[in-house]
Each structure stands twice: as structure tokens, then as C-alpha cells.
């Protein structure tokens, strides 16, 4: 599932994750993504220009594919099955 996200070097990931939580824009419905060097932190919305000023220099706004957390996947399957039963 494609989401807007912040791409950040792994060593800067935890401080950026905390900022996103404070701003209430970290999308907790999907798993945080990672590759060899970077974390991909999913967003519920794009940070405003003034909010971007609080982040370290080495972040990048981008899009990436994310996996749903299992609890959300089960909920989605349930809701789809209920919809088809009507």
C-alpha cells in the first residue's frame, strides 16, 4: 500500500519518529519500512513547511509501499467480508 513518508538515515530514525509522534502525523496503521541504510516513516499527512524546520537536515519526503499491521489487515478482511454479506 503506497503512502507518503519521510525517508531518513537509520541512525536518525528514532528522533524523527518521536517528532512525527509529537506532531501526530506518524501513520501507525502500517509498518515502518527499511532498507540497508534508510527508514521509511509513513505519514498521515504531509508536514507543513514550519513543521519541517524541526527535523534533521537529512530527511526526504517521498512515497513508498508499506505493509498493514496484522491487526489492521484482519480488520480490513472483516469489513470486506461483512460488506459482501449484505
- CATH code, residues 2-85: 3.30.70.2580
Q: Which residues contact 48 (CB under 8 A, 6 or more apart)?
A: none
Distance of CA 51 to the CA centre of its chain: 16
The predicted structure's pLDDT at residue 80: 61
For position 46, what pLDDT does the model report?
Answer: 93
**What is the C-alpha to C-alpha distance for residues 26 and 81, in angstroms, rounded to an integer?**
28
pTM of the model: 0.79
Give the pLDDT mean for 32-59: 93
* Mean pLDDT to the nearest integer, 50-61: 90
* pLDDT tens column, 4-43: 999 999 999 999 999 999 999 999 889 999 999 999 999 9
Q: Across the chain, what does the average pLDDT equal?
A: 87
- Map out the domains of the chain as residue ranges: 2-85
Amino acid at each position: 500500500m503506497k503512502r507518503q513518508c519521510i525517508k531518513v538515515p537509520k541512525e536518525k530514525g528514532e528522533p524523527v519518529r518521536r517528532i512525527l509522534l509529537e506532531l501526530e502525523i506518524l501513520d501507525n496503521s502500517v509498518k515502518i519500512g527499511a532498507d540497508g541504510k534508510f527508514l521509511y516513516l509513513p505519514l498521515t499527512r504531509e508536514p507543513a513547511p514550519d513543521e519541517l524546520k524541526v527535523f534533521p537536515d537529512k530527511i526526504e519526503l517521498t512515497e513508498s509501499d508499506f505493509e498493514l499491521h496484522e491487526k489492521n489487515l484482519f480488520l480490513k478482511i472483516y469489513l470486506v467480508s461483512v460488506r459482501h454479506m449484505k
